[in-house]
Amino acid sequence: MSTPAPAAPVAPAADGTRAPLTKKILTADHPTWCPGCGDFAVLASFYKVLEKLNYPQEKIVTFAGIGCSSRFPYFVNTHGGHYIHGRALPFAAGISLGRDDLHVFVFGGDGDGFSIGGNHLVHTARKNPRLTYVIMDNSVYGLTKKQTSPTSPIGFKSKTDPWGAMDQPINPMRTLLNSGATFIARSHATQVNHMVEMMLKAAQHDGFSVVEILSECVEFFEGAFDGAVPRKGGSWQAIELKKNDGTPEDELRHDPTDKLAAMKLASEPWPGKFGIYYEDKVRPTKNALEQKLIATTREKTKNATDLELLSKTFARMR
User: How many whole angstroms separate alpha carbon 133 and alpha carbon 46?
Assistant: 12
Closest contact distance (angstroms) between CB of 4 and other proteins is 8
Only segment of 136-144, 207-215, 224-232, 305-313 that touches other proteins (CB under 8 A): 305-313
Residues 6 or more apart from 52 whose CB is under 8 A from it? 196, 200
Let me know: does 72 contact 105? Beta carbons within 8 Å.
Answer: no
Q: Which residues pair with 108 in a beta bridge?
A: 135
Find the helix packing angle between 172-179 and 259-266, rounded to 10°: 160
* Shortest distance in whole angstroms from residue 73 CB to other proteins: 6
Q: Please tell me whether residue 133 binds other proteins under the rule CB under 8 A.
A: no
Q: Which of residues 107-126 bind other proteins (CB under 8 A)?
A: 119-120, 122-123
CB 168, CB 180: distance < 8 Å = no
Strand 147-148 vs strand 140-141: parallel, antiparallel, or unpaired?
antiparallel
Rounded distance, CA 199 to CA 213, Å? 10
Work out whether 50 is an interface residue with other proteins (CB under 8 A). Answer: no
Using the rule CB under 8 A, give the single segment among 94-102, 149-157, 187-195, 275-283 that binds other proteins.
Answer: 94-102
Answer for the pair 266, 272: CB distance below 8 angstroms, yes or no: yes
Is residue 174 part of the contact set for other proteins (CB under 8 A)? no
Binding of other proteins by 294 (CB under 8 A): yes
Q: Least distance (Å) from other proteins to the CB of residue 281?
A: 24
136 contacts 114 by C-beta, under 8 angstroms: no
**Distance of closest approach, residue 233 Cβ to other proteins, in angstroms:** 39
- The counts of H helices and E strands in the chain are 10, 9
For other proteins, the closer of residues 253 and 283 by Cβ is 283
Please state, in angstroms and rounded to a whole number, the distance separating the CA atoms of residues 230 and 170. 25
In the complex, what is the shortest distance from the CB of residue 66 to other proteins, in angstroms, rounded to a whole number? 8
* 108: helix, strand or coil: strand
Give 68 or 265: the residue with its C-beta nearer to other proteins.
Answer: 68
Q: Site for other proteins (CB under 8 A): which residue of 54, 57, 171, 178?
A: 57
Contact status: 22 vs other proteins (CB under 8 A): no
Binding site for other proteins (CB under 8 A): 1-3, 25, 28-29, 57-61, 73-74, 77-84, 87-88, 90-99, 101-102, 119-120, 122-123, 127, 290, 293-294, 297-298, 300-301, 304, 306-307, 309-311, 313-314, 317-318
